């Protein structure tokens, strides 16, 4: 959510930003909220003046009574009575106007960074850099679900009976490999100086609306029936909610946190679910990184964070590339974002395994997360980034380490988490 001062002072900048995001249907909202804000401030001033007048008149009554001026005191009492009737009406109007302003401000997109490429959708995202040499082996690399099933590691049929489409059982050494990647990711980030956290896996609605747009919320979140709770789509949601309404001590900044959680997503829409595979599912697990810092330090942290993900995948000998997200592909709260994509030897192309975003004060303004510095109280800058999300990270690991005999090599970095196992082989 942007600062209302930007609407007051530079409506054209806000409109131009909306055009860059190809959301022209939101352009009328800028003028609408501008006019509502004027009425709100006028109403607030009126309410403040009435309360002040009431207090001043009340203070006069005692002196008039002491001086024996009972009639004058009664006149003032009548004025106070009339003001007392008017104040609730004005306060009600003030509250209604405030809610209308907030509702519109929640759907006006954040101001994107000047470096963001302009484009309508993800087809206009821009490749930035490749890391590692993509390899296409001389032998065929099967579909990842077929590889895992051959290694007795996948059971989607049983998951269909227990939970329905979009769920899965991982078993044996594959399940162990899945956990090994997450454990390695945890230690990888701890070694970078991040504090490890295990957050709640359900959050209240005021946290949900604080961390994401309404459009994202409807497309992603599972609501717990009969309760004000949602299953998280990523641990970033809980991690931001942890600081709702808090004033962070300046000496504690930056807050650098890494968190593990299962993630639950509807995954509706045109892309749908994968019937056989594990690329798009309702439930997965993820190691995340979240940073809260001063605004002027935000871009430095953004560049550090996506580089950590690149370093993580390269430590597993997985070729990756970074892709700059264009304006139309950015969620409304984001200032700038890039995807990290891993090489798929089977498809001979890259696919998304992580996303890094800087959101400025869009989340912290909604959630009321601030710090007090030498220049007064300010909202913090929030950032988030995927270290690894499985099963997608698992798919990349398996495809890039698949051998002609059907076995899968375990990268050296993961072997301590696999009990020293160097290879997963087909058991006869």
Give the pLDDT confidence score for residue 146 in this predicted structure: 95
Report the C-alpha gap between 306 and 357 in whole angstroms: 9
Q: How far apart are CA 295 and CA 330, in angstroms?
A: 19
Per-residue pLDDT of the chain (428 residues; tens, 9 = 90+): 899 999 999 999 999 999 999 999 999 999 999 999 999 999 999 999 999 999 889 888 878 888 888 888 888 898 999 999 999 999 999 999 999 999 999 999 999 999 999 999 999 999 999 999 999 999 999 999 999 999 999 999 999 999 998 899 999 999 999 999 999 999 999 999 999 999 999 999 999 999 987 777 777 899 999 999 999 999 999 999 999 999 999 999 999 999 999 999 987 544 556 667 899 899 999 999 999 999 999 999 999 999 999 999 999 999 999 999 999 999 999 999 999 999 999 999 999 999 999 999 999 999 999 999 888 999 999 999 999 999 999 999 999 999 999 999 999 999 999 999 999 999 87
Tell me how far CA of residue 50 lies from CA of 41, 103, 162, in angstroms. 14, 27, 63
What 3-state DSSP class applies to 357? strand
Q: What is the pLDDT of residue 274?
A: 65
pLDDT of residue 53: 92
* Same fold across 4-105 and 122-424: no
Of 386, 394, 400, residue with least CA distance to 356: 386
Measured CA to CA, the distance from residue 153 to residue 171 in angstroms comes to 5
Going by CATH, does the domain composed of 122-424 fall within 3.60.15.10?
Answer: no
Q: What does the pLDDT read at residue 422?
A: 97
Task: Give the other-Cβ count within 10 Å of 318's Cβ.
Answer: 21
pLDDT at 272: 56
**pLDDT at residue 27 in the model:** 97
CA angle centred on 57, ends 52 and 60, rounded to 5°: 135
Give the chain's mean pLDDT.
Answer: 94
Residues whose CB is less than 8 angstroms from the CB of residue 356 and which lie 6 or more positions away in sequence, other chains included: 302, 305, 306, 309, 337, 338, 339, 340, 383, 384, 385, 386
Closest C-alpha to 330, from 111, 78, 149: 111
Please give the full DSSP string across 121-189, using - where no structure is assigned: SGGG-EEEEEES-----SS----HHHHHHHTT-EEHHHHHHHT-TT--EE-HHHHHHHHHHHHHHHHHH
Q: Domain 4-105 belongs to what architecture?
A: Orthogonal Bundle (1.10)
Q: Using CA atoms, how far apart are residues 340 and 307, in angstroms rounded to an integer? A: 9
Cα 267 from Cα 230, distance rounded (Å): 15
**pLDDT for 268:** 56
Contact, 399 vs 162, CB < 8 A? no
Distances 87 to 48, 53, 249 between C-alpha atoms, Å: 9, 11, 38
Domain ranges for the chain: 4-105, 122-424
pLDDT in the model for residue 399: 97
DSSP bridge pairs for 287: 260, 388
Q: Is the pTM of this model over 0.85?
A: yes
Q: Which pLDDT value is given to residue 386?
A: 97
Q: Which pLDDT value is given to residue 273?
A: 60
Residue 333 is predicted with a pLDDT of: 95
- In the structure encoding, which two tokens stand for residue 381, read together? 């800058």
């Amino acid at each position: 959510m942007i600062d209302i001062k930007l609407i007051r002072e530079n409506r054209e900048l806000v409109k131009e930003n909306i055009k860059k995001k190809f959301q022209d249907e939101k352009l009328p909202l800028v003028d609408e909220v501008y006019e509502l804000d004027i009425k709100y401030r006028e109403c607030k001033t009126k309410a403040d003046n009435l309360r002040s007048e009431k207090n001043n008149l009340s203070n006069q009554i005692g002196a008039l009574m002491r001086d024996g001026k009972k009639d004058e005191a009664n006149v003032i009492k009548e004025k106070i009575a009339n003001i007392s009737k008017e104040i609730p009406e004005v306060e009600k109007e003030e509250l209604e106007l405030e809610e209308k302003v907030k509702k519109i401000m929640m759907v006006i997109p954040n101001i994107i960074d000047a470096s963001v490429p302009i484009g309508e959708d993800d087809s206009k995202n821009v490749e930035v850099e490749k890391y590692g040499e993509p390899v296409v082996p001389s032998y065929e690399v099967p579909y990842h679900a077929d590889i895992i099933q051959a290694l007795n590691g996948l059971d989607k049929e049983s998951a269909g009976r227990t939970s329905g489409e979009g769920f899965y059982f991982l078993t044996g050494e594959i399940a162990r490999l899945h956990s090994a990647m997450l454990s390695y990711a945890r230690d990888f980030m701890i070694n970078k100086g991040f504090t490890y956290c295990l957050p709640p896996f359900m959050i209240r609605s005021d946290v949900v609306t604080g961390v994401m747009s309404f459009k994202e919320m409807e497309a992603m979140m599972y609501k717990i029936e009969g309760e004000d709770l949602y299953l998280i789509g990523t641990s970033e949601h809980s991690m931001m909610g942890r600081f709702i309404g808090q004033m962070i001590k300046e000496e504690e900044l930056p807050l650098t946190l890494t968190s593990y959680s299962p993630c639950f997503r509807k995954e509706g829409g045109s892309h749908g679910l994968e019937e056989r595979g594990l690329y798009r599912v309702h439930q997965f697990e993820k190691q995340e990184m979240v940073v809260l810092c001063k605004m002027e330090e935000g871009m430095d942290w953004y560049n550090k964070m996506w580089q950590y993900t690149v370093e993580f995948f390269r430590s597993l000998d997985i070729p990756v590339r970074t892709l700059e997200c264009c304006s139309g592909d950015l969620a409304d709260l984001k200032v700038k974002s890039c995807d990290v994509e891993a090489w798929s030897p089977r498809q001979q192309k890259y696919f998304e395994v992580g996303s890094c975003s800087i959101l400025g004060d869009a989340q912290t303004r909604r959630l009321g997360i601030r710090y007090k510095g030498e220049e007064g109280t300010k909202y913090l800058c929030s950032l988030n980034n995927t270290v690894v999300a499985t099963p997608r990270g698992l798919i990349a690991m398996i495809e890039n380490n698949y051998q002609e005999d059907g076995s899968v090599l375990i990268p050296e970095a993961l072997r301590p988490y696999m009990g020293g196992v160097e290879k997963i082989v087909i058991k006869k």
